[in-house]
Structure 1
């Protein structure tokens, strides 16, 4: 059986990354630096031929994918389940502001990262389930193909953790960086990390 190759890319830098705030559902654009990061990745991956390009539906991911691949937007598969965690009322706030405005929820989230959740937001396990549901369904239909996935840090950490262990416990062992790409190869259900943050 031929291997499936996944190129995992975190969207490039955004205007909100520069502010160092929490944001998941907020649809913000790439920063000038983010556009440059994407163009550099385009050059690094210019010789790769992707059968499929998959993206979160948010602008920062779609724009990263468009710059890197030169695909038309209608040719990119957009999965709602590959969105970042919904941070609810914490969107646009830094951790100091969150701790001051929502101390109880912040404390619970720090103590129980799987089940605690941002105020009026989403908890990790709900995000984990939606990402894995779509990932497993999608992988059944792209065996043997080379696929580019552009998504968010949290989503990519879930994908990597699941591919290697079939659970969430490696989540914090990954740090997908902006402006870099990683390569995971899957053959007969076994996943190997070929490259990380290149």
Structure 2
């Protein structure tokens, strides 16, 4: 089985700011969410634990698994989409500073790229590639459980890849929660 966990809350989540590549820690609520997941998942043994390279996923994995970061496979490819000059700003701040770019992005978020940001196409390609690699390694040991602790955008792309009929914006994995995917039912090329 593949367990997908979205990291817990951060202060920038609470402030409703874009912060894809900003490296910030969980806040008190995020820590509580991690502790709650640890209680829910403590009987599961994970053969591999994958996280992004950002603190919030590493801290979440430490809370959930009661292991240290040295036990994790940290991968930049599991990092959130970069938002360039919009990082650390709220929607209102982005609209005030980048009104034309913001309006265009709202109309076509999968094709318009914020200033100095990663394009959605690049983001999707890197996430799909890394997940296919992780999945291939799991096919050799189908009875094992793995854990991926990452970000909402990354987890949405993984879910879309696995469950082809889902729309990106309709996939919701709230902070500090998890979703289970049966790796034996995945059909990836």
Deviations 1:8-38 (A, max 9, x none): 1100001211211111000011101110110
Taking the aligned partners of 1:131 and 1:16, their CA distance within structure 2 comes to 23
Q: Secondary structure at the match of 2:147?
A: strand
Aligned equivalent of 1:171:
168
Aligned equivalent of 1:70:
66
Aligned equivalent of 1:43:
39
Taking the aligned partners of 1:189 and 1:31, their CA distance within structure 2 comes to 34
Deviations 1:81-121 (A, max 9, x none): 11111011101111111011111211121111111111111
Q: How far apart are 1:142 and its partner, in Å?
A: 1.4
What TM-score, normalized by structure 1, do the two folds share?
Answer: 0.89
Aligned equivalent of 2:99:
103
Deviations 1:37-80 (A, max 9, x none): 10011011111111111001100000000110012211101111
Q: How far apart are 1:188 and its partner, in Å?
A: 5.6
Q: Note the 1:141-180 alignment, pairs <5 A.
A: 141-143=137-139, 144=142, 145-165=144-164, 170-180=167-177
Which runs of no fewer than 5 residues in structure 2 stay unpaired?
A: none
Match 1:14 to one of 7, 10, 13 = 10
Taking the aligned partners of 2:80 and 2:61, their CA distance within structure 1 comes to 16
What TM-score, normalized by structure 2, do the two folds share?
Answer: 0.93
Q: Secondary structure at the match of 1:142?
A: helix
Q: Secondary structure at the match of 1:86?
A: coil
Q: Secondary structure at the match of 1:148?
A: strand
Higher normalized helix content (fraction of residues): 2
Taking the aligned partners of 1:37 and 1:83, their CA distance within structure 2 comes to 20
Aligned structure 1 segments of 4 or more residues deviating by more than 4 angstroms:
none
Aligned residues: 185
Q: Note the 1:25-40 alignment, pairs <5 A.
A: 25-40=21-36
Higher normalized strand content (fraction of residues): 1
- Relative distance call for 1:184 and 1:28 in structure 2 (3 A) is same
Taking the aligned partners of 2:58 and 2:157, their CA distance within structure 1 comes to 20
Which runs of no fewer than 5 residues in structure 1 stay unpaired?
A: 192-198
Taking the aligned partners of 2:96 and 2:12, their CA distance within structure 1 comes to 20
1:187 aligns with 2:171: no
Q: Secondary structure at the match of 1:187?
A: helix
Task: Let me know the Cα RMSD of the aligned residues.
Answer: 1.5
